[in-house]
Amino acid sequence: MLILASNSPRRRELLRESGIPFEVVPSRFEECGAGLSARETVLRFAEGKAREVYSRNGEAFVLGADTVVSLDGKILGKPKDREEAAAMLRALSGRRHEVLTGVCLIGREFFRLDAARTVVEFYPLGEELIGRYVESGLPLDKAGAYGIQDGYPLVRGYEGSYTNVVGLPMEFVTAFLKEGKIC
């Protein structure tokens, strides 16, 4: 059995679309990583989430993940309000940034941890588009205040994994699950 240590609707949808059976048990892991690089942050948080849920669920395999947006080495997490979301989108406008997702799979005598990296380039964004997008409420629960899948013309292009930008690099997940003989 696979347990997803996340309440993220995007991660649930990606797993559902892949046909992998799973249950959701949200992690109670406290995210604290001041001074860490983006890569160190996602690795620490993904492992922490997976270990916390594994400690409560015995023999199951547990999948933990954490995603951040990094612009010029600065981590952009989920915005606290609409104003911060708009500020993040202005900062990303017309620029390239990184999306990193740490993925951890833990099972009895099994442990895999890695991070996916995708470079994303934004179109220059006008204030009208930023305002409409922020007012939709969609950016408020996403790292970097955007979702590549939201249907707004934000992303000019990307290099790497699309599903990583959504929140769960399925290439990593599938490889880990095969290695653990889960699917």
Nearest Cα neighbor of 68 from 45, 46, 36, 100 is 100
137: left (phi over 0), alpha (psi -120 to 50) or beta: left
Indicate if 72 belongs to the active site: no
End-to-end CA distance of the chain: 10
User: Which residue out of 66, 114, 141, 150 is catalytically annotated?
Assistant: 66
Q: Is the dihedral of CA 7, 13, 14, 16 positive or negative?
A: positive
* Beta-carbon contacts of residue 100 (< 8 Å; ≥ 6 apart): 38, 39, 41, 42, 67, 68, 70, 115, 116, 117, 118, 164
Catalytic residues: 66
